[in-house]
Amino acid sequence: MVNGLKEVVYGGLRFYVFDGVYEPAEDTFLLADNLDVCEGDIVLDMGTGCGILSVLSALKASFVVAVDINPQAVKCAKENAKRNSVRNKIDFICGNLFDPLRTGLRFTLILFNPPYLPSEEEPKTWIEYAWAGGADGRRVIDRFLMDLPRYLDCGGRLLMVQSSLSDIEKTIKLLEERDFKVEITCRRRLFFETITLIKALKV
């Protein structure tokens, strides 16, 4: 804790986690440990949370766009970008998935740690949007996959984490139907689920 704030340390960098913002966990670190950012990449960090993936990406990428539906998360991520000296390389946007992005905007790498836990109830607080995935855990995932091809360059990559609780095989099938070459790069077994890192190349 620093000045009453939670703090997460990763790769020698320090990140605040404000109240009401998703704290980086196993799914976040699975993405962070396998982050595939190249010099010159234009990165979209969808559901940025405290901004850890945006900041790590900005260390190599040309530019990063970070989106979150939670206004507290956007404020937190901005603070962490300033704290780690990459604020000038990240544009932060508050909004729902691709809705706030202008038509024609394209990325070479999209990162997504979606809300994938099955939940019958609608989110009642901002932080619940980080994990509540609808009855089958796919409400947000399916909408994301529908719009994804319009925002990813040919040859661009998707890195996405998903849980065994929300039908990973369906995600792979939907990506392949949209002309993506899909690879499962790694898995981590947790207490009640397995989280999987999906890498997809737009061909």
Distance CA 76, CA 121 (A): 26
Distance CA 187, CA 191 (A): 13
- Show the CA angle centred on residue 102, arms to residues 141 and 151, nearest 5°: 45
What is the per-residue pLDDT for 192? Answer: 83
Closest CA to 47 of 125, 138, 126: 126
pTM summary value: 0.95
Any residues with CB less than 8 A from the CB of 181 and at least 6 apart, and which? 200, 201, 203
Which residue type does 112 have? F
Q: What is the pLDDT along the chain (203 residues), one digit of tens a residue?
A: 666 689 999 999 999 999 999 999 999 999 999 999 999 999 999 999 999 999 999 999 999 999 999 999 999 999 999 999 999 999 999 999 999 998 889 999 999 999 998 888 888 899 999 988 989 989 999 999 999 999 999 999 999 999 999 999 999 999 999 999 999 998 888 888 899 999 999 99
What is the per-residue pLDDT for 98? Answer: 97
Structural domains present in the chain: 6-202 (3.40.50.150)
